[in-house]
Structure 1
């Protein structure tokens, strides 16, 4: 794979992570070529790689789009992510340092300061989960969590935009923090799985919110 292909792939992923590209959005290959100063070949190769990872979808009718999930896909991916995040919390509770606990506390404070802004809250929420990943110190679990989360970021933000979800998330963060800080790995894992896993009714609410237009970074 050429360095230009890597550049294009990284750019698309960065725009998905920042929610400037949301599920269902068409990716403008002409804009990529012009903005990154590359030819059509690395753009096409990047699309192929991301399609293989199911991050984008190439349509036979033409065009490449950020992959949109149906309800069953969302539930399956969320179930897998909840188990991975649970394992991360389990190991973090066994390995976390005082400095790393401070990172979690700072992230929780940022979450509380975000108010009801789903996008601001999501960024602070990511800091909390990244803090646990760092404490877990397992690159394989980090890679797995990143891969699944990348495919459902837009849906996570849509969940946070539903009534009561930010308040619920804040409370769960403190409980997870307490379990990790007190060295209770089994409890930390169980709390994290419940924190990540969504019910069928919440999933339906997320899909409805996505249909209306999920919160977007301008």
Structure 2
């Protein structure tokens, strides 16, 4: 790579995010934390004043969240935080089960020993975080996203990322069920055991079972 290309790439990597993307991330986190609850109306004037911005970047941010399924735009009524229906949950979990079980099978076949150890290390962290629900959520997501990175299919990664955003709207309900964290951990142990034995069929099956159980807990 020549010097000019190197400078161009460096400049691109340092370019600030557009304002609407920053606002979208702020709203996304407020939705995930339940500060903005499902079904609630999003007061654009109040938020624009709070963030010290015009309504234009705010509306652009809401469009982004609408494409992700986190916000629902209603004609002449404005934007609302999406309420996830039973049908929505079933559809999302079904697709996640297909996509992530396929990725898990790929990882069992193609991952290096070092990459399997990375996943094992994340699982070990998960084992230690059962007393902290938010920490459990965080490590659990890191495990799944790292598995997808190792499987290395950017189209699948994008689809899963969008689906997981919708799933997060209901995630608190799923793990609040008595004993669900322990069940989820046991399912992760089974996934790791299959990965460590390099058995793609069993790994995919265990991941499918993990999402099936997750849906039952979330419904």
Shorter chain as denominator, the TM-score bin is 0.7 to 0.9
Residue number in structure 1 paired with 2:8: none
How big is the shift at 1:81?
Answer: 1.2
In structure 2, the CA distance between the partners of 1:184 and 1:18, relative to structure 1 (3 Å rule), is farther
| 2:71 maps to 1:62 | no
Is there any run of 5+ residues in structure 1 with no aligned partner, and where?
205-218
Deviations, residues 128-180 of structure 1 (Å, cap 9, x unaligned): 11221121111111111111010111322321111111111111111111212
Partners of 1:33 and 1:202 in 2: CA distance: 37
How big is the shift at 1:32?
Answer: 4.2
Partners of 1:192 and 1:53 in 2: CA distance: 24
In structure 2, the CA distance between the partners of 1:18 and 1:93, relative to structure 1 (3 Å rule), is farther
Residue number in structure 1 paired with 2:126: 111
Name the larger-Rg structure: 2
Name the stretch that deviates more: 98-107 or 88-97. Answer: 98-107
Contact 1:57–1:67 at 8 Å: present in 2 too?
yes
User: How many pairs does the alignment contain?
Assistant: 203
Out of 29, 34, 39, which is 2:54 matched to? Answer: 39
TM-score (norm 2): 0.80
TM-score (norm 1): 0.80
Residue number in structure 1 paired with 2:205: 190
Residue number in structure 2 paired with 1:179: 194
Is there any run of 5+ residues in structure 2 with no aligned partner, and where?
1-16
Any idea what SS the aligned residue of 1:23 has? Answer: coil
Deviations, residues 8-37 of structure 1 (Å, cap 9, x unaligned): 223333444566545334444345434544
